[in-house]
Amino acid sequence: MADWDLLLTNARVATMAASVPGYGEVEDAALAISGGRIAWVGRREELPQGEAAKTLSLEGRWLTPALIDCHTHLVFGGDRSGEFEQRLEGASYEDIARAGGGIMSTVRATREMSADELFAAALPRVQALAAEGVATIEIKSGYGLDVDNEIKMLDVARRLGEASAIAIRTTLLAAHTVPAEYRDKADDYIDLVCDELLPEVAARGLADAVDAYCESIAFTAPQVTKVFRAAKRLGLPVKLHADQLSDGGGAELAARFSALSADHLEYTSSAGVKAMAGSGAVAVLLPGAFLTLGETRKPPVDELRQQGVPLAVASDCNPGTSPICSLRNAMMLASRLFRLTPLECLAGTTREAARALGLADDRGTLEVGKRADIAVWDVEHPRELAYWIGTPQLAE
């Protein structure tokens, strides 16, 4: 019996291990895989004696951990290109809202579609991410906004994982926006989420985490607190859409609940950054939404760095504010709009993205024992992954 299932040689490896500075580059490297896990990685000349069932020479290509998109809403009905066009033709947000547009149009379309229709619409989005080196995708619910439709969305997300080679992590985001039938009764909706939806989702094992949108146009900090307490009681980790359009103390709230991540953070204060620093929460930056909304206030990247808060980057793929089904584009935008370095962009879509999903011990770096999720690139250096605009370099 062979020692390894697959041996990759003549490769250049960026391990992205946290224990070494930079990319963790290994020239003239070999990487052995056994049982879907990395069994050995290092300089080829130091490879221990062993037999591989299959050996592949990579002809000097670069290996990085496969990319991880740790924040998407890619299961949804319809799209919002109509209102995108109307806005650019001069219609105001008010005009569009009066005509039934905005997030409520996505909720209506998502509710109207069957699970099979939602699956068929979402699969090409998963495949588009896979084609650029993504092996793990987080998918949130949040357009169903009632028990049956939120469960339908999570079910579809789980099925996308079963039907493809991509690992899907699901997040219940029932506290995304107040559904129309609960207008002016947001507290009643939160009760429904905490008392009925969350226990049902937990019982069915449909969610890996629970998320909420803390914002003046969504839910208050006390309402989110209720959701987080209910999630914690059920043993589910939490995440938060925090401080995107105003400083609502979202970063502090996420820190208080030891959230896996706080996402967006454009308006996070210094106190919020400091709170995050002690909590282990990852700052997930979403430049696609920043770009689409024409925001000018940037997340406090320098302060996050100074405080040692881990930085991740995600696509936020969604029909309203971030119609970007490309993590590579998100990396490109994070470097241009938020001044993240190419190294931060790659760490933010591998190691730190894994951390933002609670998977830091399992994937996100090329180290012994981790999942053998590997991307092979036709580049001269992995810094190019954030550098090129719209040029694919994935070799396989």
Residues found near Zn ion in the complex (CB under 5 A): 316
**Tokens 């208050």 — which residue?**
220
User: Among candidates 195, 185, 196, 111, which has minimal Cα distance to 149?
Assistant: 111
Of the pair 58, 134, the CB lying nearest Zn ion is at 134
Q: Distance between CA atoms of 346 and 14, rounded to whole angstroms? A: 10
For residue 357, the minimal CB distance to Zn ion (Å) is 14
**Could you tell me how many residues make up the chain?**
396
Closest distance to Zn ion from the beta carbon of 91 (Å):
24
Three-state DSSP state, 359: coil
Closest distance of CB 323 from Zn ion, Å: 12
Distance CA 317, CA 376 (A): 24
CA diameter of the chain: 70
Minimum CB separation of residue 20 from Zn ion in Å reads 32
Q: Which residue's CB is nearer to Zn ion, number 103 or number 151?
A: 103
Residue closer to Zn ion by CB (options 15, 171) is: 171
Q: Pairing mode, if any, of strands 37-43 and 25-34?
A: antiparallel
Q: Smaller CB distance to Zn ion: residue 212 or 346?
A: 212
Dihedral sign, Cα of residue 140, residue 347, residue 61, residue 335: positive
CA proximity to 5, closest of 39, 28, 48, 45: 39
Contacts of 11 (CB under 8 A, 6+ apart): 29, 30, 31, 58, 60, 61, 62, 63, 376
State which residue has the least CB distance to Zn ion: 316
Q: Which is nearer to Zn ion, 310 or 319 (CB)?
A: 319
Identity of the residue, 71 or 226, whose beta carbon is nearer to Zn ion in the bound complex: 71
Closest approach of Cβ 39 to Zn ion, in Å? Answer: 37
Could you give the 3-state DSSP secondary structure of residue 267? coil
Nearer to Zn ion, 324 or 360 (CB): 324
Helix (H) or strand (E) holding 285: strand 282-285
Please state the closest distance from residue 286 (CB atom) to Zn ion, in A: 7
Cβ proximity to Zn ion: between 150 and 316 the closer is 316
Single-letter code of the amino acid located at 56: L
- Distance from C-alpha of 348 to C-alpha of 318, rounded to nearest angstrom: 20
Q: Do 33 and 4 meet the contact criterion of CB atoms below 8 Å apart?
A: yes
- Name every residue whose Cβ is closer than 8 Å to that of residue 363 and which is 6 or more positions away in sequence: 65, 66, 68, 135, 136, 354, 370, 371, 373
- Give me the least distance between CB of 356 and Zn ion, in Å please: 12
Q: Which is nearer to Zn ion, 295 or 316 (CB)?
A: 316
Min dist. Cβ of residue 76 to Zn ion (A): 12
At its nearest, how many Å lie between Zn ion and the CB of residue 387?
26
Tell me the two tokens of residue 224. Answer: 């989110």
Residues contacting residue 191 through CB under 8 Å, at least 6 positions apart: none
